Amino acid sequence: MDKTLRGKGAVIGIGELRPMRRRPDRTGIGLAAEVAIEAIADAGLLKEDVDGLITELALGEPAQLAEYLGIRPRWAHGVNMFGATGAIMLPLAVMAVSTGMANNVVCVINTPAGDVLPGMGAPNTYQANYEFPYGPGVAQNSNYAMIAQRHMFEFGTTQEQLAKIAVDQRFNAQANPLAAFYGTPLTLDDVMNSRMVSDPLKLLECVMPTTGAAAMVVTSADRAHSGPHPPVYLLGAGVSIEHGIPPAHAIKMVDTPVKHSARQAFQNAQLSPRDMNMLSLYDCYTITVAVSLEDAGFCKKGEVGDFAASTDFTYKGNLPLNTHGGQLSFGQSGLAGGFSHVIESVRQMMGRAGDRQVPKLDFCFVNG
Amino acid sequence: MADYTLPLPQPTILHQPMWDAFKQHKLVVQRCRACDMMFIFAREHCPRCWATDLEWYEVSGRGRLYTYTTVRQPAHPAFNELVPYVYAIVQLDEGPRLPSNLVNVPLDHVHVDMPLRVVWDDVTPEFTLPKFEPDPDGMARRLPHQTGAARIHASGVPAHTPAPA
Ligand SMILES: [Zn+2]
């Protein structure tokens, strides 16, 4: 089998603007959208055909342009390689289309235009004009609190049911000497009695910012057995963007794009949620875990309250979840926080999780 | 007014017409003349049909509380003296959703789905913020999804299309 990218992808359409000294009448994202639309048409494709997106990070994360264009990529990437950015996009896109991650990838690079504020680069104009004047809470507290509020309204989910997720994860952290909250057990009453930070979120349902780092090494299948540890293979993966970070734009605030990314990952792996022996789910807040459980298919939409209450998420339980403690108990070291779920999954799959080792571990589900 | 210390909007060319309308106490959203789509997140292109023939369209100023949180620890320290206050997402009767604050209502009277109407807060000579208060006439109004307005999606994103198999 040919493992190179040779012949496995091609450019089929282009869009380009004539460079101008200034474009005070336009916005940077508007220019990006214009060339994307032009290239898609040039390729003879329709909006619905576009399922992959690569942007240069000066634009903001790819989700901004995806939401702007009203497209829902199932594969996306933000790239900044300085002068090599445009060049690196081609092999990245071919990697995506040659592996089935996407069928048609649009690559876009732009500059800011008339939307640059004095003394600043390209601003996050969405937040400046729609959120900040009204005083949202610190970090993402308000956004996730409002998701929890809506989930409670639609499905009758209770605070105790969500709090129980934090309690099970803390139990796991008691078997992880690396966890920030190792040696500090937690009860349901502790969570319920912790102070309200953004109704209905309690303090102990929110991550604690920490300082840290993580890394991993990935190698090809033919080299995978040369190391001292059993290799952990990626069997399937999926990506989905439905909207930018502001949850006001979510189609339904209680839904997440996990429903699409998980479906593709399971499809690639030819496995189902029932086959998973443990889960590592992104947990900035308890509600994040709850809606991910629903959307990944571990329980039905709206039923996660009862599911969480009746499921043992500890490493000894029937569905081990965030066995390192999750970010809620391990700590959130910036973007390494979400990486901790990957690292723990690998550690468990290698059989190196010590006291919290999950027995009979064949398949693990990770999201971020 | 000179002592207003909370963060003010930072309009770009894209948002200036909206803030100009707010100053005149007109609640506007962007509307696509080609396909009727209405949306909040200001753009140069319609997110449904990609047309560039967009207008600022005045809506009724009535809606419902889609969801909310009571802020106790604000991101910006200038809000500290106002806590606790309600940060909300309002679903307009016309469909789009926007972040705002609830005013003129005790915290324990706030509940998801309550009818709301816009009320204007002239915070500086340049800026007026749309805020929302309980709408006593609101219970008689039909919900957006009962009027067909739901086809104009809150997010400004077209109806769901399944990911390719
Ligand atoms: Zn349109």
For chain A, the structural domain boundaries read 9-115+207-366
Residue A45 CA to residue A37 CA, distance in Å, equals 10
The model's confidence at residue B148, banded by pLDDT at 50, 70 and 90, is very low
Extract the tokens encoding A255.
Answer: 């839904």
**Are B47 and A119 in contact, with CB atoms under 8 Å apart?**
no
Residue A212 CA to residue A229 CA, distance in Å, equals 24
Please list the pLDDT of chain A residue by residue as tens digits (368 residues).
677 888 899 999 998 988 888 888 888 889 899 999 999 999 999 999 999 999 986 667 898 899 899 999 999 999 888 888 888 999 999 999 989 899 999 999 988 787 765 554 555 678 889 999 999 999 899 999 999 999 999 999 999 999 999 999 999 999 999 999 999 999 999 999 999 999 999 999 999 999 988 888 888 888 888 889 999 999 998 989 887 766 677 778 899 999 999 999 999 899 999 999 999 999 999 999 999 999 999 999 999 999 999 999 999 999 999 999 999 999 999 888 989 999 999 999 999 999 999 999 999 999 99
Question: Which residues of chain B have a CB within 8 Å of the CB of A247?
Answer: 89
Give me the phi and psi of B128, to 5 degrees please. Answer: -125, 130
Predicted confidence at residue B165, as pLDDT, reads: 33
Residues, CB-to-ion distance under 5 Å, ligand 1: B 32, 34-35, 37, 46, 48-49, 51
**Are A332 and A207 in contact, with CB atoms under 8 Å apart?**
yes
- Interchain pair A251, B50: CB under 8 A: no
| Span from the CA of B53 to the centroid of ligand 1 (angstroms) | 8
Indicate the DSSP class of residue A357.
Answer: P
> What ipTM, to 2 d.p.?
0.85
Domain spanning A9-115+207-366: CATH 3.40.47.10: yes
Extract the tokens encoding A19.
Answer: 């460079």
**How much of chain B is in helix, strand and coil states, percent to nearest 5?**
15, 30, 50
* Residue of B119, B76, B22, B46 lying closest to A128 (CA atoms): B76
| Span from the CA of A79 to the centroid of ligand 1 (angstroms) | 30
Residue A195 CA to residue A141 CA, distance in Å, equals 13
Predicted confidence at residue A242, as pLDDT, reads: 86
| Span from the CA of A89 to the centroid of ligand 1 (angstroms) | 30
Predicted confidence at residue A2, as pLDDT, reads: 73
B25-47: average pLDDT = 95
Name the B residues in 22-61 with CB < 8 Å from any A CB. Answer: 40-48, 50
